[in-house]
Structure 1
């Protein structure tokens, strides 16, 4: 008799997804720090993130825990541990990234449908970057941040931010989010889920867009976006709190990043080991309960 896996996630499984997403995405952020950017005039081509990691986890597992875990991993490993924490302004990045990844995850009803995955990935990235662009433009128009790409023409911020948005979507978005996600999701589907002792998401359950993007979700998204805007505005004033740039990092220099990489890699391996061990224990227990 084939061993049956639990169809729903337990609290411990959700926590494993959270920690795995946090450590994996945090580890990937360390490597993006090591990749140099290319400047083409006023356009900067850079690897901003390896978003395919949280996107894949959001699509295959639990969107909320994977999204929040990845956003927190970026703050812990990419900001705090490298002494680059910007204080209350990090709330904006945390909210916009979590929201984008979460929306991408819930938009996918069938992980094996490439068109569905593609639309979900680009929609999630658009939400993340568009919110960030609106915040940046708002800071200049309100006056909490000075920016005049063209002397005397504050409207030039719209052009600069628009080009940056296209760059993020068409360069980093396609190369380091869409294409890897399209490759990984169908190949991992049905293979990685047993590590958590769970069944893969059903490909037969269909939901309309109205059932996914509910009024409740829209209201929550608007409230979170407002909080992100307020936090970012506060970060540009004397009200910014929580900035952290420890002096001890100067003793290690740039080489300290390898310490952070080692810590993140250790957490990843420990989490995967715990997941495999837990899944095997549960499978043996189910086998005994089923008389196998």
Structure 2
């Protein structure tokens, strides 16, 4: 498993440089500052046909091609920048300072060649254009997310939930039995809306009050964060475990997947087992402080503490 993840990481880096140099070359050739993904994705598609099953399996969405997912991956990490309408450009080269003071370079066209660094970028000195990791990506605190959506609750809706996620001192669980709600308590509701003959799953933060539901819809990119906020309010503790491996590596094991923001930060210095919904990461022993800082901000507890 670890050898496969290391191999996939090397391939990701190779294609990262390929795409960045391709964008740079096309911009110079056509005297422009942007390139449409239609010039990139078909080329990647032909290259990816020859790639290993481990690399293809890393990109685990059934709704998008591997090429499209790879472009999104680079864009999320800040290696390339999406201008909208399918156009991409190269952002300025900058360094991101991690919690332990180390820096990682993003969007560089220069191969740093450090196989011991397992992130999408490479370890570097602090550059003149540098960001703290908290500036690189905004992560709202759990209480902040909960209070924001709590203020939007309304009883003006047409929702008849199919399932609900219940939070108690014993844990959280999903059930299709919509009953025994506690007055003024909070839940997450699931509702399958039918539009044009197709089912569109929706999620809602909900409060049972005065014998009816008060609720507001949860965007997909906020679901994990809000779910964790509700677990934290009930003192339900999610955890992570750091396992030492040979040759100075460590493996981080999670009970559940991280939100987009934490996943992006972790990928700066570690390698996940899959593009989305990863529950395992590998990195080196000296990254423990970064791992703990990022995961504890998300209210995860380290096993053994």
Confirm or deny a common fold (TM above 0.5). Answer: no
Higher percent of residues as strand: 2
Higher percent of residues as helix: 1
Question: Which bracket does the TM-score occupy, shorter chain normalised?
Answer: under 0.3
TM-score, structure 2 as length reference: 0.20
